[in-house]
Amino acid sequence: MSKIMIITDSNSGITQEEGKKLGIFVIPMPFTIDGEEYLEDISMTQERFYELLKRDADVKTSQPSQTYLEELWTNLLKEYDELVYIPMMSGLSATCANAKEYAKKFNNKVKVVDNIRISVTQKISVLEAIGLKNQGKTADEIKEYLENTKDRFSIYIIMGVLKYLKRGGRISPAAATIGDLLKLKPILYTTGSKFEKLAIAMSTKQAKVKVIQKLKSDLETKFKTEYEQGKMVLSVAYTDKREEGLIFKQEIEQAFPDIKVVLVNPLSLSVSCHIGPGAIAGTLCINNYATDLLNSLDKSIN
- Pairing mode, strands 82-86 and 4-9: parallel
Could you read off the pLDDT of 65-106 as tens digits, one per residue?
Answer: 999 999 999 999 999 999 999 998 776 678 888 999 999 999
CA distance 8 to 28: 9
Q: Percent of the chain, pLDDT > 70?
A: 90
- Residue at 199: amino acid letter: A
**What is the mean pLDDT of the segment spanning 182-187?**
75
Query: Which among 180, 181, 125, 110 is positioned nearest to 155, based on CA atoms?
Result: 125
Separation CA 105–CA 102 (nearest Å): 6
Q: Place 297 in a pLDDT band, splitting at 50, 70 and 90.
A: confident
pLDDT tier, 167 (very low <50, low <70, confident <90, very high otherwise)? low
Q: Which residue has the higher pLDDT, 177 or 260?
A: 260
What topology is assigned to 4-30+63-148 in CATH?
Answer: Rossmann fold (3.40.50)
Task: Classify domain 153-296 at the CATH topology level.
Answer: Hypothetical Protein Tm841; Chain: A;domain 3 (3.30.1180)
- Give the model's pLDDT for residue 268: 87
**51 contacts: CB under 8 Å, gap ≥ 6:** none
Determine the average pLDDT of the residues in 1-12: 93
Residue 139 CA to residue 31 CA, distance in Å, equals 30
299: pLDDT confidence band, cut at 50, 70 and 90?
low
What is the predicted pLDDT for the residue at 89?
Answer: 79
Give the residue, 173 or 277, on which the prediction is more confident: 277
The 10s digit of each residue's pLDDT in 102-146 is 999 999 999 999 988 999 999 999 999 999 999 999 999 999 999
pTM: 0.92
| Average confidence (pLDDT) over 272-288 | 92
Residue 239: exposed, middle, or buried by beta-carbon count in 10 A (0-12, 13-18, 19+)?
A: buried
What value does the mean pLDDT take over residues 17-36? 94
DSSP annotation of 300 reads: T
Segments making up each domain of the chain, as ranges: 4-30+63-148, 153-296
Mean pLDDT of 220-238: 96
From residue 17, how far is each of 52, 136, 225, 301 by CA, in Å? 24, 25, 36, 9
